[in-house]
């Protein structure tokens, strides 16, 4: 036996929630990506892949910050993605890694 009924139910519930979240992410017409507690990209939708001209989601997740130089701020030349990573913990300190951009 893997675990008691409550543990099995919790695992199924988490899987169901995860699947629904991925379906919402993939069906969004907006460029969307998910970051972990350290603001590393962990998932994205196909719109993000297409917008940034990546091959697939895995490539986007692995490379998105490496291409950020293409998308610089006009004001000071600083990288926009770097600014986002620096600003998020300051403006949204209670996210606990649950931010969808």
Distance (Å, rounded) from C-alpha 83 to C-alpha 80? 5
Beta bridge partners of 44: 33
For 60-64, the CB contacts below 8 A with 24+ separation are 60/33, 61/33, 64/33
Q: Report whether 99 contacts 42 (CB < 8 A).
A: no
pLDDT digits (tens, 9 = 90+) for 39-89: 888 899 998 898 888 899 999 999 887 776 565 555 665 556 666 666 666
Rg (CA), the chain: 17
**Residue found by looking up tokens 């543990």 in the block:** 7
pLDDT digits (tens, 9 = 90+) for 1-45: 455 666 666 788 888 888 898 898 888 888 888 888 888 888 999
């Amino acid at each position: 036996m893997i675990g008691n009924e409550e543990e099995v139910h919790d695992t199924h519930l988490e899987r169901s929630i995860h699947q629904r979240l991925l379906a919402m992410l993939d069906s969004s017409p907006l460029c969307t990506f998910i970051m972990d507690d350290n603001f590393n990209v962990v998932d994205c939708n196909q719109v993000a892949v297409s917008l940034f001209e990546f091959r697939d989601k895995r490539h986007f997740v692995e490379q998105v910050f490496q291409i950020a130089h293409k998308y610089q701020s006009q004001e000071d030349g600083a990288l926009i993605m770097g600014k986002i990573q620096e600003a998020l913990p300051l403006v949204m300190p209670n996210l606990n890694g649950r931010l969808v951009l």
